[in-house]
Amino acid sequence: MDVNQIWTSVLQSMENNINSTVGYKIHVKDAVTPVLFENSVFLIAVPMSINKNMIEFRYKKDIEAALERITGKKINLSVMVSEHTDAEKIIEQKNTPEISSEQFGLDMVNPKYTFENFVIGSSNEYATAAAISATEQPGYIYNPLFLYGNSGLGKTHLMHAMGNRIKENHPDFNIIYVTSEFFTNEFIASLKEFTTAEFRKKYRAADVLLVDDVQFLETKEATQEEFFHTFNDLYSLNKQIVLTSDRKPSDLTVLEERLRTRFSQGLIIDITIPNYETRMAILQKKAEFQNTVISEEVLGYIADRIKSNIRELEGALLKIISMSEMSHREINIELAEEVLKSILPKDGIVKITPDKIMDKVSVYYKITKDDLKGKIKTKNISVPRQVAMYLCKKLTDMNYSMIGNVFGGKDRTTVLHNVNKIEKEMESNEALKSDIKYIIKDLESI
Ligand code: ADP
Ligand code: MG
């Protein structure tokens, strides 16, 4: 059975079990593109991170159970967010005969992201320069190269661009790209199947190892241990290692000290928010790539409104283009305004609401929003709840009673107590402080 047939069977067998709720329709049925089934990992792609979160919170177990019924094996479900039609492209490319299947999986470099189509500006010039020079003599210049910055600023793009450039210069090199999540899932699957030897062999045979979003390793202790050994082996053989994260190594406070030290021993460089000129240049390049001519005025209109996330910037542009195609309308300010209205709040200023806080906090701690509003007192839920209340107090105009209301009708003294508790705890608990800092950063970047 191929991956599509399996997915079709999953959907059929799921619907008997799960009520056909709206959530299921939106986040699973309509959103999922099956991508790959390999080594007990079933990978699906969804267009938005909310789909991914919902699947992970609500549907993962049921899907895995269905996968087990269908394949007769224990399967790990892995969910990736793939903007626009990337999932289709991945499948397309995977099925293209010139690219062999072992050459194009999720553990490989995506040819779509290159240095040629990466716009350089002051926000990323050091990162790009470091990335380019590391590709000149992989393993010998900056090792590891550690790139960090907020979501949507081009870390993954740069990483793939490095992989593609090295491939050009060294066609024989074994270049592996993985997200730390994929690495973790594959490792866990290998433990279950007693294939860790093969798993190790695969990663230790890399000439270049690109690991994206290493912040997700923070809570995965066994995987950290495994990754530590992989890292050491490759490092001692002068194999190039590139890592990305949303924070710098010293802010990965939950990560084991020895990994943090390893991550810091090469070059650490950040990517920051692009300025207006860079945003314009990116929009121009992306429009060109879509073979669409768009006036400076319209591009400027977009660049003025979306400032801190290139993924959003690109998303807005693509929405405008597809809107114009669908409705046969010319791309002008009016159309752009209409589309942006659906993306941005009225005044263009991102307003932080309790709902957004709960969204981010629940995603960060991998619990549900209902948990935040509920009464469960176990630490893994009560701490995030206290954090969410603290953030509401800090970032919105709400008073304690109002906050209590949105958290399932708690009284003001409970909220006050919780907020104080977090404030006090932050004085000595560095990990908590860094979690909160991260969530705030995430809330502030649209
Ligand atoms: P991150 O990994 O930091 O979250 P990505 O690398 O996924 O961000 O970038 C998000 C989107 O923005 C991608 O489609 C990428 O091609 C695009 N992008 C980011 N930076 C640039 C840039 N400097 N030039 C062109 N495209 C960019
Ligand atoms: Mg990324």
| Per-residue model confidence as pLDDT tens digits over 222-236 | 999 999 999 999 999
**Comma-separated ranges of CATH 1.10.1750.10 domains in the chain:** 354-444
CA dihedral (30, 32, 33, 37) positive or negative? negative
Which pLDDT value is given to residue 19?
62
For residue 103, name the pLDDT band (cuts at 50, 70, 90).
very low
| Cα-to-centroid distance, 212 and ligand 2 (Å) | 6
Compute the mean pLDDT over every residue in the chain, rounded to the nearest whole number: 87
14 Cβ closer than 6 Å to some ligand 1 atom: no
Q: Measured between alpha carbons, how far is 397 from 246 in angstroms, rounded to an integer?
A: 28
Which pLDDT value is given to residue 15?
67
**Comma-separated ranges of CATH 1.10.8.60 domains in the chain:** 276-342
Specify the 3-state DSSP secondary structure of 64: helix
CATH architecture of 354-444: Orthogonal Bundle (1.10)
- CA torsion, ordered 155, 159, 164, 170, to nearest 10 deg: 160
| Cα-to-centroid distance, 154 and ligand 1 (Å) | 3
112 CA closest ligand 1 atom index: 16
The answer to whether 115 touches 163, Cβ cutoff 8 Å, is: no
310 Cβ closer than 6 Å to some ligand 1 atom: yes
Is pTM beyond 0.85? Reply is no
179 Cβ closer than 6 Å to some ligand 1 atom: no
**Comma-separated ranges of CATH 3.30.300.180 domains in the chain:** 3-96
The answer to whether 133 touches 242, Cβ cutoff 8 Å, is: no
CATH architecture of 276-342: Orthogonal Bundle (1.10)
Which pLDDT value is given to residue 97?
36
- 58: tokens are 């609500």
Q: Measured between alpha carbons, how far is 162 from 169 in angstroms, rounded to an integer?
A: 11
Edge to edge, the sheet with strand 33-38 lists: 33-38, 41-46, 76-81
The pLDDT of residue 21 is above 80: no
Q: Measured between alpha carbons, how far is 401 from 173 in angstroms, rounded to an integer?
A: 61
Q: Which residues surround ligand 2, an ion (CB under 5 A)?
A: 155-156
- In 164-221, the DSSP E strands lie at 175-179, 208-212
What does the pLDDT look like over 256-295, one tens digit per residue? Answer: 999 999 999 999 999 999 999 999 999 999 999 989 999 9
**Comma-separated ranges of CATH 3.40.50.300 domains in the chain:** 125-270
The answer to whether 148 touches 245, Cβ cutoff 8 Å, is: yes
Q: Measured between alpha carbons, how far is 290 from 217 in angstroms, rounded to an integer?
A: 36
Closest CA to 382 of 365, 398, 394, 360: 365
CATH 3.30.300.180 is the classification of domain 3-96: yes
- 381: tokens are 């839920």
Alpha helices per DSSP H over 212-309: 221-236, 257-263, 276-289, 296-305
313 Cβ closer than 6 Å to some ligand 1 atom: no
Q: Quick one: residue 147, left, alpha or beta (phi over 0 = left, psi -120 to 50 = alpha)?
A: beta
> What are 178's strand-pairing partners?
211
Task: Indicate the fold that domain 125-270 takes in CATH.
Answer: Rossmann fold (3.40.50)
